[in-house]
A and B are shown apart, each in its own frame.
Chain A
C-alpha cells in the first residue's frame, strides 16, 4: 500500500480504477468515434458519488477533499481522458464556484443536482482573445433595470452542451475601476446564465483532435437578460476568483495527465509481454524494456508532484508554484509516454481502436489547456524572482 495514501484514499482509488476498467473503458472507443459524451456512463459516475467527491455531506457531497477528487480523475484518465476531464470540469468549473462563491439561494438551486451528476455546468472564461490573459475579456454584463444584460461570446466551454447542461458561469466585464495610481482597469465579475435563456446560444460542438467524447462548444450571448441575483460572488472579484479556480484546475489536470501516462505504461507492459518478434516477447529487448522503465519513472515523478500540490491545497498552504510544476511535469509525461507507447505498439498504435492511439491524440491538449506549459514556466520563473 502506498504510504502517501490513507486507507480511505487507497480504497477510493481502487474502486474508481475498477469502475474505469469495467464500466468506462468498454465504451470509450465508440464515444470517441462518435464525438459523444456517453450520458449513461456519466449517470453511473453520479451514482458512484464522483461528482460530489470534494463537497461536504451537508450539500449532498461525499465528504472528501480536493486530493480525493484528483485520485478519481487520475484513475479514470488511465483509460479515458474525455471522461476524466468531464468530471474535472463538472466539479472544478461547474459546481465548485457555486459552492465557494454562491449565495445560499444559488447553492440551494444548483448544488443538489450538480453534486450528484444529474446536472452539469460550465465556466465561460476563454474568448477569442482572452484565455490565461483573463483581463482581456470582452464579454460584457451591464445592470439594466434590475437585470444583467450579457453580450459577447466564449470559446472551448466544456460540458456546455450536454442534455443535462443547466447553466454557464460567465466571466464578464461589469465596469471599470480606477486604481489609486490613476490607472483604469476592467471590473470582472461572474454571471450565472441558465440554459434556455433567450439570446444564449450553444453553438455546434468543435471537431477536436482529442478529448473527442468531452462536450465542448463555443457560446454566444446576444442581449441575454438574467436577474441581478445571478451575480456569482462579489462584483469585481471575478478575476481573483477564477485565478483560484485555475490554480486548482492545474492540479487536477496534472492528476489527469499522470493517469494518462500510467495508462500508457499499463498498455505497453501488457503488449511488451505478449507481442513476440523474432521468437521472444518484445519486452525482452532492452530498448523496449528501458523505454517502459523511463515511462514509469515519469509516472512516478508526476504523481509525487501532484500529490504535493493537492496536499498543500487541502491544507490551506500556498500551492500556485507547485501546481504549475505538477502540471508542467505531468503533461510532459503524458505526451512523451503516449508517444513512446504508440511507438512500442507499432502499426497498431496508429489505429484509433487502440487505447494508446487515443492517449496520443488526447494528451496534446494537456500541454495547452488550463494554462499552456509556457504559462506554467512563467509562473515558476516568477516564483524565483525572474519576472519576464
Chain B
C-alpha cells in the first residue's frame, strides 16, 4: 500500500472576472474561488493509482480558511485524509516559501508519491512541484500526461515542445501532471457525506517549525514591483489570400507553437 500526497489549491474561478488587488499586489481571493481544475485531475490520478494497487491518498493545501473547500472536494472524490496549512503569517508567500511550508508539512510523514498539478491557474509559476521535490530530496518527474505506478516505480510520459519523453523514477518520488492526465470524477452523495467525517489536520507556523521572520510576503525572496491590468485585446492579423495565405497561416501557427 503506497502513501500518496496530492497537492490541491483554491483559485479564483477562471470563468469569473479575476483581478489582482493593486494595494497588496496579491490575487484577490474574495470572489468566486474553486478548486483548481488541474488539481481535480491530480486527485483523480491519485485515486486511480490507489484503485489500481491499493494505497492511501492525503490531500494537502495551503491557504486561508476557504482553501479547506479544495481539500473537502478531494475527500468527497475519494481521498482518505487532508492536511490544511493555514496561518495568517503565511499570506503572500512566494513559490520558495510555499515549497518550504509544504516540505515541512510532508517531510516526516513518509509519503511514497507526491502528485501536483503542473501549474496553478492563478500564480502560474509552475515552480512549486520541482522546488518541493528538491527540498524533500525526492526524484521528480514533471509535466506528465500519463502516470503508472508498479513495483515501486512510477512511469509516465513527460510533455515536451516536440512530443513526449518516457520517464521513470523509483519511489519515493514527486510528479506533476498536465491537464491531459485524466478526467476528474464527480463526487457522489455518499462521498460528499463521508468527506465530512474524514480527518483533516490543521498546521500553522509553529507546527511547521517555520520562523515568523521567514514567513509571508514581507520576507519573500521575490517581490512584486508593479501590477497592471491586461491591455485590451487588439485586432488580430488579417491574412489576405494571394495564393500564399495557407503558408502564412501555417507559419504563424508554427511560430506560436500551435502546430
Q: Which residues of A contact B189 (CB under 8 A)?
A: 8, 12, 15, 49, 53, 62-64, 68
- Alpha-carbon separation in the docked complex, A18 to B24 (Å): 33
**Residue B187 at the chain A interface, CB threshold 8 Å:** yes
Tell me the count of chain B residues lying within 8 A, CB to CB, of chain A.
Answer: 11
Contact present for A49 and B76 (CB under 8 Å) = no
Contact present for A49 and B188 (CB under 8 Å) = yes
Question: Which chain B residues numbered 172 to 202 have a C-beta less than 8 Å away from chain A?
Answer: 185-193, 196
Contact present for A48 and B186 (CB under 8 Å) = yes
Interface residue tally on A, bucketed by range: 10 to 19
Q: Which residues of B contact A48 (CB under 8 A)?
A: 186, 188
Specify which of B76, B188, B196 is in contact with A62 (CB 8 Å cutoff). B188
Proximity bits, A7-44, B CB within 8 Å = 1, else 0: 11001100100110000000000000000000000000
- Alpha-carbon separation in the docked complex, A19 to B191 (Å): 15
Contact present for B193 and A8 (CB under 8 Å) = yes
Q: Which residues of B contact A49 (CB under 8 A)?
A: 188-191
- Alpha-carbon separation in the docked complex, A68 to B186 (Å): 16
- Alpha-carbon separation in the docked complex, A53 to B187 (Å): 13
Contact present for A11 and B192 (CB under 8 Å) = yes
**Residue A57 at the chain B interface, CB threshold 8 Å:** yes
Q: Which residues of B contact A63 (CB under 8 A)?
A: 189-190, 193
Smallest beta-carbon distance B77→chain A, Å: 10
Question: Which chain A residues numbered 354 to 388 have a C-beta less than 8 Å away from chain B?
Answer: none
- Alpha-carbon separation in the docked complex, A211 to B188 (Å): 26
Q: Which residues of A contact B76 (CB under 8 A)?
A: 11, 15
Smallest beta-carbon distance B13→chain A, Å: 12
Smallest beta-carbon distance A375→chain B, Å: 32
Smallest beta-carbon distance A199→chain B, Å: 39
Smallest beta-carbon distance A255→chain B, Å: 16
Contact present for A15 and B190 (CB under 8 Å) = no
Question: Which chain A residues numbered 35 to 90 have a C-beta less than 8 Å away from chain B?
Answer: 47-50, 53, 57, 62-64, 68
Q: Which residues of A contact B188 (CB under 8 A)?
A: 47-50, 62
Question: Which chain A residues numbered 266 to 305 have a C-beta less than 8 Å away from chain B?
Answer: none
Contact present for B186 and A19 (CB under 8 Å) = yes
Smallest beta-carbon distance B121→chain A, Å: 17
- Alpha-carbon separation in the docked complex, A12 to B195 (Å): 12
Contact present for A15 and B193 (CB under 8 Å) = no
- Alpha-carbon separation in the docked complex, A143 to B193 (Å): 46
Q: Which residues of A contact B185 (CB under 8 A)?
A: 47
Contact present for A8 and B196 (CB under 8 Å) = yes
Q: Which residues of A contact B196 (CB under 8 A)?
A: 7-8
Smallest beta-carbon distance A165→chain B, Å: 23
Specify which of A7, A8, A15, A62 is in contact with B186 (CB 8 Å cutoff). A15
Q: Which residues of B contact A19 (CB under 8 A)?
A: 186
Proximity bits, B68-86, A CB within 8 Å = 1, else 0: 0000000010000000000
- Alpha-carbon separation in the docked complex, A63 to B193 (Å): 9
- Alpha-carbon separation in the docked complex, A12 to B193 (Å): 9
Q: Which residues of B contact A18 (CB under 8 A)?
A: 186
Q: Which residues of A contact B193 (CB under 8 A)?
A: 8, 63
- Alpha-carbon separation in the docked complex, A47 to B187 (Å): 9
Which residue on B lies nearest to A7, using beta carbons? B196
Q: What are 9 A-B contacts with C-beta separation under 8 Å?
A: A7-B196, A15-B186, A15-B189, A47-B186, A48-B188, A49-B188, A50-B188, A57-B190, A63-B190
Point out residues on B near A: beta carbons under 8 Å: 76, 185-193, 196
Apart from A8-B196, A49-B191, A62-B189: 4 A-B pairs, beta carbons within 8 A: A7-B196, A11-B192, A47-B185, A63-B190
Query: What 7 A-B pairs are tightest by C-beta distance, nearest first?
Result: A49-B188, A62-B189, A11-B192, A62-B190, A48-B188, A12-B189, A19-B186
